[in-house]
Each structure stands twice: as C-alpha cells, then as structure tokens.
Amino acid sequence: MKIIVPFFTVLALILIAYLGAGSDNLKTLFGVVIPYVALVVFILGFINRIFYWARSPVPFRIPTTCGQQKSMPWIKQDKIDNPSSLLGVMGRMALEVLLFRSLFRNTKAELGADGSIAYGSAKWLWLGGIVFHYSFLVVILRHYRFFVDPVPSFVVLLENFDGFFQIMLPTFYLTSIGLLAGATYLLLRRFTTQIKYISQPADYFPLFLILSIAITGIWMRYIDRQDIVSIKAVIQGLVSFSPNHEAMLAVGATFYIHIFLVCILAMYFPFSKLMHFGGIFLSPTRNLASNNREIRHINPWNPDIKIRTYEEYEEEFRDKMKQASLPLEKE
C-alpha cells in the first residue's frame, strides 16, 4: 500500500494535467494559475517552516563531536569535525551541505554466524545522493535559460560542461541521465528489505514525482521535441506577469504535465521531509562549535530550580559528620 498509493497518486496527477492540457479553456489554469499558486505556496511555506523552527531556541550546545577536541596546544585538534570556532563550524557545515560528509562515513555491518561483526564500505548511498542532488541542481540552473533573455553566460557555460560528451543531437546532458539514474537508485534501494521496512508513502511519493518530472523533461527534449520558442514565450509571459495565451496554445500536453508536476513538488516541499534542505542548516549537532567549556552558552528558558543545598545536607547529617571529624559550617 505504501508504494501503490503514492505511485497511483502521481499517475493520477499526470492524468489530470494531461486532460487539463487537452482543453484550451483549462490552459490558463494549468499554465498560469497553478504555477503562481505553487510559487506562492512554496515561498511562504518554506519561510514559514524556517520561522517555525527558528522560533524555538537552542537551549544547549550539543554538537556531535567527530574528532579530537581542542584541549592543549600540543594535541592536534580536528578543527572541522570538532570545531571550536565559527570558521571551523563553517567548514564543517560546508562539507556537510556540499559534500554530504556524514553520509560519506557510512559503513555496513554484518553479523556472522559466530556472533562476529564485519564492517564493509558502503559509499553507494553517498554516491547516489551526490549524483542525484547535484544533477538536480544543474538541471534547475539550466532551466534558467527559459526565464531570462538573453540567456545568461553562466547557463551557457554550465550547458557546455554538462554537454561535454556531445554524444547525440540535441546535445545530451550528463545531468539528465544523472538525475534519472540518481532518483532511480534512490527508489530501487527503497525496495530492498531493510529500507522498504522503514519507508513510508512520504518516501516514495517525492521519488515517483521527481522521476516523472525528469522523464517528461527528457521526453520533451530528446524524444517528442517541443517548440522551445513557444515554451520560452510561455515562461517569459509568467515572469513578466503578462501570460502569453498564444504561446500557451502552441505548446503540447507533455509540457503541461511537466510543469504541473513541478508545481505539485513545489507545493508539497515545505510540508514534507524535503525540508531537510533547510533543516540541515539549523541542525544543532552540526552547526555549533564544541567550545562549551570555554564560552558559556545561554539557555533563554533556564529554569530556576530548588536544589538540595549544602546547608540542608549538613543539617541532616551534622552529628554523623561531627563524629567523622568532617568540617562543619555550624557546630
């Protein structure tokens, strides 16, 4: 169920967009209204979630230290994995966000028949994750060419790198295959016993969605070639808040499916686990320096509590303490 339901949900979404695109009357809805709504939901939803997180304080400094602490000068500190300064934290966060540092540590433990445990390297998830995320990023940046005219030089540069191998016409982009392969890998591993057990519909849904987006995109570019000029005109219309109805009638159904799924993804994003994109920056085990003993961290709600004072203690045990010749405050 947890796989079938999200699968058919995505299929249904595709069908809705296909039917909608078939009717000229609904093109305004799918080509104008929904994209605007999606953009607003995405931006407000994203900001709202960040504020929701940021509203709660960080009462304690609890970094997970993954290397040698700063103690004495002759002991070499691991300034990245156990940072004690802002610079170190920035380094740690950069490695985490840009290179998935923690995931790179991944190992696989296997239990032997005699109760022994063997550890193997397990970098596939890291690799799959890197390929998926970076391909997705480049693909999104490449789409920038539809939004501005003339096409900015960084997009052209990116396209030149991405199409380095020039294996077919139109130029085949590495990231097209990277996104597809990465997402497929991430999906397939969710069918393996252990990962399937922990997976939820909310894990399958975005993967089906992203795969569908990638496939429709690839379809338009390489197989059922679309009229790029019209597509750009449609998007330019949206960007300039003056929808181009003529161009909207000229583009095919695949485009509407593609853009509808992108809108669904954008609207789904702020309410889902996809917010890990924002959350990683706020994770207190990673974004704080481990300098707790050097610089006091303030807890805004630090409660005043009644402790058992020495005076109470001495009061209770005075005679026994006296007999044991322990020093006393009051004789």
Q: By C-beta, is 149 or 316 nearer to another protein?
A: 316
Calpha distance 245→24 (Å, rounded): 10
Tokens of 140: 């999104």
Question: In the complex with another protein, which residue's Cβ is closer, 13 or 251?
Answer: 13
Please say which residue, 43 or 223, places its beta carbon nearer to another protein.
43
Minimum separation from the CB atom of position 287 to another protein (A): 8
| Sequence letter at residue 51 | F
Name the minimum Å distance from CB 77 to another protein.
8
b/e for 159-186, b at 16 or more Cβ within 10 A? beebbeeeeeeeebbbbbebbbebbebb
CB of 15 to another protein, least distance (A): 20
Q: How far is the CB of 14 from another protein (least distance, A)?
A: 19
232-253 burial: b if 16+ Cβ within 10 Å, else e: bbbbbbbeeeebbeebbebbbb
Query: What is the nearest approach in angstroms of another protein to the Cβ of residue 124?
Result: 11
- Rounded Cα gap, residues 257 and 42, in angstroms: 19
Distance from C-alpha of 308 to C-alpha of 318, rounded to nearest angstrom: 15
CB 29, min distance to another protein, A: 23
Q: Is 134 exposed, middle or buried (0-12, 13-18, 19+ CB in 10 A)?
A: middle
> Which is nearer to another protein, 240 or 296 (by Cβ)?
296
The nearer residue to another protein, 153 or 309, going by C-beta atoms, is 309
Whose tokens are 């019209």? That residue is 230
User: For another protein, which is the closer residue by CB, 114 or 241?
Assistant: 114
Distance CA 120, CA 122 (A): 6
Beta carbon of residue 58, minimum distance to another protein (angstroms, whole number):
5
Give dist(CA 39, CA 263) in Å, integer: 7
> Which pair of tokens denotes residue 7?
């699968």
Closer residue to another protein, CB minimum distance, 82 or 254: 82
